[in-house]
Structure 1
Amino acid sequence: MGGDGGVALPTVVESREWYLAAYAPENVPTSDHLKLRSVTVSLEYDSIADQHVALQLLMISVDPYLRSTITGRDGDLYLPRPPLNKVITGFGIGRVVRSKNKNFSEGDIVISPFSPIAEYFIVPSEFLRKIDLTANIPLPNHLSCLGVPGFTAWLAIEVIGNPSTPGSNVFISAAAGGVGMFAGQLAKLKGCRVIGSTGSDEKVQLLKDEFGYDDGFNYHKESDFDAALAKYFPNGIDLYLDNVGGKMLDAVLNHVNTGARIVISGMMSQYNKIPAEREGVKNLLNMVGKGVKMEGFLCGSYLNQFGEFAQQMEKYMKEEKIKPKHKINHGIESFLDSFGSLFSSSNLGKVIVQVAT
């Protein structure tokens, strides 16, 4: 059997993969927790189970949710805890190099939502989705606009938050990240006034120049979040998309309008802390008198709406109403540093590791 775009592959390959060596209860995970090793993978056709395919990983999305799955604490989990010494998984793009499913041919490029972070691997084909290369959508966009970040942003703005009044005041934290950059653009398309917080002056400029935000602020330079929100939201906040939690969420609760919505997609400021050290929220009483609704969500609960999302986002992209921004690091060995960058202010946009071409 052939593969890899017509180039004959050996029947056995050495594949590097990232595995979980130890749980990381606090702080940013290091090479003590996530390690890279080489394993042997058989690509022999007869060794592949029916309805499975062998993939070569091309790109992997680097996402914050992985942090909460590797603490070792059941109470933190909204996804199954990965076992130790096993390869970790992510949302990836791969090339089919062997196939035992008639719907997938060698050379097809596919989305693999539960992709091992490995150069080569064999997976069941039921969750794979073929990418239509004739649509001329750059591959990284399938991991950003059309991937988990875009879907998360779309659910937050279009489905759960759904600011129905033009001119609604929308605040988005981690606004230059994978979710925030699309959420702000979607809110602007609904006619909202959108302000974002982010971690550097460069990112504030990015929000305004590339993503169409009305304004933004560098939270590192604001010693008093309460005062900052009073400045940027003199008429209060109608919708807050929370990606960070902690002190920012507490401050927002002092500035919400009657009937405001708070949509929680993540709490990055709390991921690296043990429960006893996490920051509490003291201003929840404000939700009562103002009838505020706060709701967290997981994309997996809304998969029946993925088709509608993809159709709308593809339309926006073709009309150039949605602009992505990617930080692409090269080589599977760069995954750990790429993951660590999510918890600093060093990256702009969606972080992706390109493993192969």
Structure 2
Amino acid sequence: MITVHARAAFSSESPIQLTTIERRELQPHDVLIEIKYAGICHSDIHSARGEWGPVQYPFVPGHEIAGIVTQVGSEVTKYATGDRVGVGCMVDSCGKCVSCHKGEEQYCLNGMTGTYGSVDRYGQYTQGGYSTHIVVTEDFVVRIPDSLELDVAAPLLCAGITTYSPLRHWGAAPGKKIAVVGLGGLGHMAVKLAHAMGAEVTILSQTLKKKDDGLQMGANHYYATSDPETFKKLAGTFDLIVNTVSAKIDINAYLSLLAVDGTLVNVGAPSEPLPVQVFSLIPQRRSFAGSSIGGIRETQEMLDFCAEHQITPEIEVISANQINEAWERVLASDVRYRFVIDISTMDR
């Protein structure tokens, strides 16, 4: 086993604390990655605090991982020592089901193995990227293009692919009108990506306080959802709405903004149910959908797309000692727009 430094939660109410964890010895197809940067996702907080189900503690979050390969297993063919790589929200899947064969491992019918909070094929509880090193099978590692710095690449492994995948699936392109609900870590990436794909982009946020930011990121329009006139003015407008917020909202009000055959897709995952009235869907043949991350092939495609179009998240780099403060700021929506941990500070 390989002993590494990490930051972990020891209960649903405890702060994140310094500890050590064990990584497995390399198997033939494994790579050892020295983590340089790890993004902070709202999912880290939900998971560590037991809001999405039972948790085994100590619990190391983090599924936006960028680093350098420092060792490879005896049968690894895809990577070599020194390669710039990333790991996202999953580290394995069955590899045998229909979804896996389609390159959609995130929808593995036997359950994909999450980067944290899962039990892997070796019977070990997976621990995430708030740590100095991680061991991952080569098939679940992606290559970070040279034109992307590692600190800005890290959030692309969740925030980037979580928004890229539905935009691609529902056909974001010139001539399409797309709305993004919320301008946070996910939302600001959705805006940048949809703009780069050529769509007409509208931001729907509670207030106008981030309007200048949103327009600078590529949005064509920006509306405050706290203003009832917004829902009257925009009724029946959008081909696609990407809801990125992890809070309970009036889904039926947002469904009214869809055009005929429009889709509202949730990528934010609130812990409370979101009731939907069937007559919000039937009259205009509207759809209410969900989307997870992307598969490994699509994640690589997303990274290459971002490199080609020079798309990067807006980040604030912090030390490991600032993680607890950063979590509270995430909950207060006080970040523009993604925290990234400098892992060189992990053991200080």
How far apart are 1:234 and its partner, in Å? 5.5
Q: Distance in 2 between matches of 1:136 and 1:67?
A: 30
Q: Distance in 1 between matches of 2:61 and 2:236?
A: 45
Pick one of 3, 12, 33 that aligns with 2:14: 33
- AA at the equivalent of 1:36: Q
Q: What residue is the counterpart of 2:322 in the other structure?
A: 334
| Paired residues of 2:33 and 2:134 also in contact (CA < 8 A) | yes
Q: Distance in 2 between matches of 1:280 and 1:325?
A: 29
Q: What residue is the counterpart of 2:42 in the other structure?
A: 64
Partner secondary structure for residue 90 of structure 1: coil
TM-score (norm 1): 0.71
- AA at the equivalent of 1:239: L
Q: What residue is the counterpart of 1:6 in the other structure?
A: none
| Paired residues of 2:144 and 2:303 also in contact (CA < 8 A) | no
Q: What residue is the counterpart of 1:350 in the other structure?
A: 338
Structure 2 residue 290 is matched with structure 1 residue 296: yes
Count of aligned pairs between the two proteins? 302
Encode CA deviations 1:316-350: one digit per residue, 9 max, x unaligned. 22xxxx4x342223211222322333222211123
Distance 1:139 1:200, change over 3 A: farther
Pick one of 124, 130, 141 that aligns with 1:128: 141
Which protein is bigger by CA-based radius of gyration? 1
Q: What residue is the counterpart of 1:216 in the other structure?
A: 222
Q: Which runs of 5+ in 1 are unaligned?
A: 1-11, 24-31, 272-277
Provide the identity percentage. Answer: 14
Match runs of 1:82-121 below 5 Å: 82-97=55-70, 100-101=73-74, 107-113=82-88, 114=115, 116-121=128-133
Partner secondary structure for residue 212 of structure 1: coil
Distance 1:190 1:90, change over 3 A: closer
Encode CA deviations 1:297-316: one digit per residue, 9 max, x unaligned. 2115x434334333333322
Distance 1:345 1:243, change over 3 A: same
Q: Distance in 1 between matches of 2:229 and 2:277?
A: 15
Partner secondary structure for residue 206 of structure 1: helix
Alignment RMSD: 3.3
Q: Which runs of 5+ in 2 are unaligned?
A: 89-114, 116-126
Q: Distance in 1 between matches of 2:15 and 2:275?
A: 32
Distance 1:67 1:129, change over 3 A: same
Distance 1:41 1:279, change over 3 A: closer
Partner secondary structure for residue 64 of structure 2: strand
Distance 1:94 1:312, change over 3 A: closer
Q: Distance in 1 between matches of 2:143 and 2:256?
A: 47
Distance 1:124 1:261, change over 3 A: closer
